[in-house]
């Protein structure tokens, strides 16, 4: 890194800003953000209340660098270069001050010297306003890369901001969040609790469904829930153990925040009651050690929790594109992180993803390879998705079918499967995204 900061003449230690996410900020810190992240008229930017506290240091530094040759570099939490935060943090800096990124180090773990060995996942960003004709330098896992431009996502592409979007920018099915129980855990059952309840009240079995958050989905962990949608009061009263759980759920909701207290009026049901017959399930959080986010089809016997995204009635073509290396590259570039793990966002990743326009032949090829992936998985019924997508244990035929699917999807995009790198793929997707944004403005 020494070479990267050559020419940064002034060195001033200003202390570490608290690495506080916007949801954990105190009232004083939130007020700070609203007073600092303001436009030329002194009006807070709309995103000022939804970005991490360290962003204020970037804003103040940009103000101080105006009309000077000063250059700045900060070590920061990686969240400001990922997901929805990117546009909120960086767009005002580009639009108001005209900053550019001179060098950056992508995510690395910074261990504390404290006895508890706390650690955070950080990035280093060097930025300035003054002209800089030198190559931009991007560091990742000890590897240095020279770039023409570094975007705030810390990738070598044009500077394009991906805004949160409530509906898909392409003409595709909607992705929605799964069901949030908001029950204090009283409508959820472990395998043991389920078995015990059925012994005591056999009639309860018809109201029990398998329940999956992202962890249960990936690791095939048995977990269940009481799915009491449309149950009659008379039937409920015949099951005192079930009724007791409903009463405890009601009390838990009454003790919560105002929006949760409102749910106490309907203690038999989850906050949402989504139960489609067939859907693609995609976990919100997944390990960065996997090349592909494990996703797959579930049916109406399974209730998806709010740590799963679902696409009801999704086609096999949809599955093929979403599980491809093209979509994974987009996700890695614009998605968020939970520490270093992938944190998928429907509003940023899925809703902004530019889908291809395949010919009938190309679409059929993707459908074929997507089904091959499902067939390859089915050969290992004793394995969880965690087993199948572990880079050390992934079955050769599953890896091969994914590679065939990657090739089919890339061909549908007009990408060269043999030569295109992931960064080049992202750069092309960014251009496609920009064209879709411009189309929507017409």
Which distant-in-sequence residues (6+ apart) come within 8 Å of 251 by Cβ?
A: 264
Domain that holds residue 20: 3-147
How confident is the model over 210-229, as a mean pLDDT?
98
134 and 185 in a common domain: no
Identify which of 209, 214, 206, 204 has the alpha carbon closest to the alpha carbon of residue 301: 209
Is the residue at 141 inside a domain?
Answer: yes
128 plus 29 within the same structural domain? yes
Pair 136, 185 in one domain: no
* Domain closes at, from 147, 169, 197: 147
Asked whether residue 98 falls in the same domain as residue 193, the answer is no
In this structure, the answer to whether residues 15 and 139 fall within a common structural domain is yes
Please report which residue ranges of 52-148 form alpha helices under DSSP H.
55-65, 85-92
When divided into structural domains, the chain yields a total of 3
Check whether 115 has a pLDDT greater than 70. no
Q: Are residues 269 and 315 in the same domain?
A: no
Query: What average pLDDT score do residues 376-397 get?
Result: 97
In this structure, are 143 and 183 located in the same domain? Answer: no
Q: Are 127 and 224 contained in the same domain?
A: no
Is the pLDDT at 5 greater than 70? The verdict is: no
- Both 12 and 123 in a single domain? yes
Claim to verify: residue 125 and residue 55 sit in the same structural domain: yes
152 in a structural domain:
no
Q: Is the pLDDT of residue 25 over 60?
A: yes
Task: Give residue 110's pLDDT.
Answer: 79
Provide the mean pLDDT of the chain: 91
358 with 430, same domain: the answer is yes
In a domain, 80, yes or no: yes
Domain assignment present for residue 227? The answer is yes
Whether residue 200 is contained in a domain is answered as yes
In 322-383, at which residue ranges do the beta strands (DSSP E only) sit?
Answer: 336-338, 341-343
In this prediction, residue 6 carries a pLDDT of 33
Q: Would residue 74 count as lying in a domain?
A: yes
221 pLDDT exceeds 90? yes
pLDDT digits (tens, 9 = 90+) for 62-84: 999 999 999 999 999 888 998 88
Quick one: pLDDT band at residue 8, thresholds 50, 70, 90? very low
Specify whether 264 is located in the same domain as 382: no
Residue 283 included in any domain: no
pLDDT-wise least confident of 104-118, 203-217, 246-260: 104-118
Question: pLDDT of 326-372, one tens digit each?
Answer: 999 999 999 987 777 899 999 999 999 999 999 999 999 999 999 99
Please check whether residue 358 is in contact with residue 415, taking contact to mean a CB–CB distance below 8 angstroms. Answer: no
Tell me: pLDDT of 3 over 80: no
Q: Specify if 142 maps to a domain.
A: yes
Name, in order, each residue with C-beta under 8 angstroms of 34's C-beta and a sequence gap of 6 or more.
Answer: 44, 48, 49
């Amino acid at each position: 890194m020494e070479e990267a900061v050559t020419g940064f003449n002034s060195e001033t230690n200003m202390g570490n800003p608290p690495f506080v996410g916007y949801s954990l900020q105190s009232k004083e810190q939130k007020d700070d953000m609203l007073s600092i992240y303001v436009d030329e008229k002194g009006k807070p930017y709309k995103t000022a209340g939804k970005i991490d506290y360290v962003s204020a240091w970037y804003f103040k530094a940009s103000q101080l660098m105006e009309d000077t040759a000063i250059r700045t570099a900060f070590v920061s939490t990686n969240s400001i270069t990922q997901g929805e935060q990117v546009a909120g943090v960086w767009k005002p800096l580009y639009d108001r001050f005209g900053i550019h990124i001179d060098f950056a180090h992508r995510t690395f773990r910074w261990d504390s010297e404290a006895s508890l060995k706390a650690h955070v996942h950080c990035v280093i960003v060097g930025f300035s306003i003054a002209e800089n004709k030198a190559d931009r330098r991007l560091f990742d896992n000890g590897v240095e890369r020279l770039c023409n431009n570094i975007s705030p996502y810390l990738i070598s592409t044009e500077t394009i901001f991906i805004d949160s979007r409530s509906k898909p920018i392409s003409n595709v099915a909607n992705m929605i969040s799964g069901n949030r129980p908001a029950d204090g855990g009283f409508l959820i059952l472990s395998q043991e609790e389920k078995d015990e309840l059925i012994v005591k009240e056999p009639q309860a079995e018809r109201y029990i469904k398998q329940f999956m958050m992202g962890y249960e989905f990936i690791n095939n962990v048995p977990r269940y829930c009481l799915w009491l949608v449309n149950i009659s009061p008379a039937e409920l009263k015949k099951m005192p153990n079930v009724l007791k759980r409903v009463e405890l759920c009601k009390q838990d909701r009454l003790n919560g925040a105002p929006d949760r207290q409102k749910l106490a009026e309907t203690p038999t049901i989850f906050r949402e009651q989504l139960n489609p017959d067939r859907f693609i399930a995609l976990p919100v959080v997944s390990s960065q050690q996997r090349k592909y986010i494990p996703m797959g089809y579930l049916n109406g016997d399974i209730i998806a929790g709010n740590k799963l995204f679902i696409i009801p009635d999704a086609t096999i073509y949809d599955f093929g594109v979403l599980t491809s290396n093209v979509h994974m590259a987009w996700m890695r570039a614009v998605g968020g992180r939970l520490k270093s793990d992938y944190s998928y966002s429907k509003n940023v990743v899925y809703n902004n993803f530019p889908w291809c326009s395949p010919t009938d032949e190309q679409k059929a090829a993707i459908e074929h390879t997507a089904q091959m992936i499902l067939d390859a998985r089915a050969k290992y019924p004793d394995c969880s998705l965690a087993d199948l997508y572990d880079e050390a244990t992934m079955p050769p035929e599953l890896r091969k079918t994914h590679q065939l699917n990657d090739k089919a999807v890339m061909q549908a995009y007009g990408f060269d499967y043999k030569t295109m790198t992931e960064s080049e793929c992202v750069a092309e997707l960014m251009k496609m995204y920009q064209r879709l944004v411009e189309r929507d403005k017409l």
